[in-house]
């Protein structure tokens, strides 16, 4: 069941208090950044507003925290639903992650039906392992009266990162600042020409340490990464999922990558718009530098030092930022409000020229 199908079922009155089904959330097989900004928030939104007997979230080991964190932050008038996390490994997922789906070796998107079936099989296995045999049987028979399988749709559908469409929470933990800079290398197996070699990152770290800065490298596990980002003044790296995690940990971040020549998704947003505004629901200070994927190390060193001065947390600070961060957030609120025009439908009453002006000159 995709998000669109679920919304249709609600409008059609298929959910009734006396016969509430169990919601099974499929493991996410897309990009980590998309899981953070276009899935986990939507799952939280759906589970809090739907009528479910129980919710079973299938996710790879260590990923459950993405969906569990901040449950107490949801609205008080939302009825609590019994929730259970089931380990569901996806190392054998076909193809490579791209947006909310997978792509084959030739770069073509894999069929959504194929990915839907893969998700169903992984959920059945997870339920069997966890002793949820009745749910596993219902998934096999596609018995929607007892079980609903929730998947992202696998075709790049975007949900606005706003309270009307997603429920975001902060992953930040109450830690004293212990690092000045956390380097977040891009290490993806697709488009490897965008990755910098380990020696490049080593040299960058050495240059920053020579300036008296405390520097570390992004950790391998989600839990460790959240710990680091909760105790860091600034995260820095080329566009990658770990920097979206920095945003949700309220850790200021400096990002570099392509410029306005590269537009993303049907919104035709730039990477700068994505990081600084559209995929920044908590208003975390961010500086994006459109200098390409493999810029000169000297330019990045200067950019990090400048970002530390302009948006980095003060030394020894907790989650609170500086006066300059307050000014940044004020500007973010304006851009964030105007960015809603980018989601307006083609037949919107808002004039096309105004929407294009906002897209190209304001946000």
> Per-residue pLDDT tens for 190-215?
889 999 999 999 999 999 999 999 99
> What pLDDT score does 80 carry?
58
Is residue 206 within a helix (H) or strand (E), and if so which, with residue range? helix 198-210
Residue 156 lies in a domain: no
Q: Are residues 327 and 184 in the same domain?
A: yes
Same domain? 111 vs 217: no
10-residue mean pLDDT series, the chain (363 residues)? 48 46 97 97 92 95 84 46 92 96 95 97 98 97 92 93 95 97 94 94 98 97 98 98 98 96 85 96 97 97 97 75 76 90 83 86 84
3-class secondary structure, 289: strand
Contacts 24+ apart (CB under 8 A), 7-10: 9/148, 10/50
Q: With contact defined as beta carbons under 8 Å apart, do 174 and 226 qualify? A: no
Distance CA 212, CA 206 (A): 10
Domain-located, residue 166: no
- Do 113 and 219 fall within a single domain? no
* CATH number assigned to the domain comprising residue 294: 3.40.50
Sign of CA dihedral 159, 165, 171, 176: positive
Q: How far, in Å, CA of 228 to CA of 223, rounded?
A: 9
H helix runs in 130-264, sequence order: 133-140, 198-210, 222-229, 241-248
| Structure confidence at residue 363 (pLDDT) | 86
Are residues 241 and 336 both part of a single domain? yes
- Specify the number of domains making up the chain: 2
The domain containing residue 191 runs over which residues? 179-362
Question: Are 202 and 318 within one domain?
Answer: yes
Contact 229, 249 (CB under 8 A): yes
List, in sequence order, every residue forming a beta bridge with 264; answer none if it has no partner: 269
Cα-Cα-Cα-Cα dihedral sign, residues 287, 292, 294, 300: negative
């Amino acid at each position: 069941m995709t998000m669109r199908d679920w919304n249709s079922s609600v409008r059609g009155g298929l959910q009734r208090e006396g016969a509430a089904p169990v919601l099974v959330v499929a493991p996410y097989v897309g990009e980590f950044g998309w899981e953070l900004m276009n899935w986990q928030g939507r799952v939280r939104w759906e589970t809090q507003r739907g009528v479910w007997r129980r919710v079973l979230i299938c996710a790879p080991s260590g990923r459950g925290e993405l969906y569990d964190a901040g449950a107490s932050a949801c609205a008080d008038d939302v009825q609590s639903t019994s929730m259970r996390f089931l380990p569901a490994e996806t190392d054998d997922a076909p193809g490579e992650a791209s947006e909310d789906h997978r792509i084959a070796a030739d770069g073509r998107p894999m069929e959504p039906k194929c990915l839907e079936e893969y998700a169903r099989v992984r959920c059945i296995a997870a339920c069997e392992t966890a002793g949820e045999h009745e749910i596993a049987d219902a998934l096999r028979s596609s018995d929607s009266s007892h079980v609903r399988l929730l998947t992202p749709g696998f075709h790049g559908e975007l949900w606005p990162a706003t309270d009307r469409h997603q429920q975001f929470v902060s992953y930040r933990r109450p830690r004293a600042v212990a690092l000045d800079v956390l380097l977040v290398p891009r290490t993806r197996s697709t488009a490897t020409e965008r990755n910098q070699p380990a020696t490049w990152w080593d040299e960058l770290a050495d240059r920053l340490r020579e300036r008296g800065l405390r520097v570390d490298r992004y950790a391998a596990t989600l839990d460790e990464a959240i710990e680091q980002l909760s105790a860091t003044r600034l995260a820095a790296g080329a566009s990658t999922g770990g920097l979206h995690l920095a945003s949700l940990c309220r850790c200021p971040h400096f990002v570099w990558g392509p410029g306005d020549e590269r537009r993303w998704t049907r919104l035709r947003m730039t990477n700068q718009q994505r990081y600084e505004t559209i995929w920044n629901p908590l208003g975390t200070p961010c500086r994006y530098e459109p200098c390409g994927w493999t810029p000169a190390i000297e330019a990045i060193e200067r950019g990090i030092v400048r970002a530390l001065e302009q948006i980095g947390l003060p030394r020894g600070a907790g989650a609170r930022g500086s006066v300059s961060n307050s000014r940044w957030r004020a500007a973010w609120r304006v851009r964030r409000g105007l960015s809603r025009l980018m989601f307006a439908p083609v037949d919107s009453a808002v004039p096309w020229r105004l929407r294009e002006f906002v897209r190209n000159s304001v946000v």
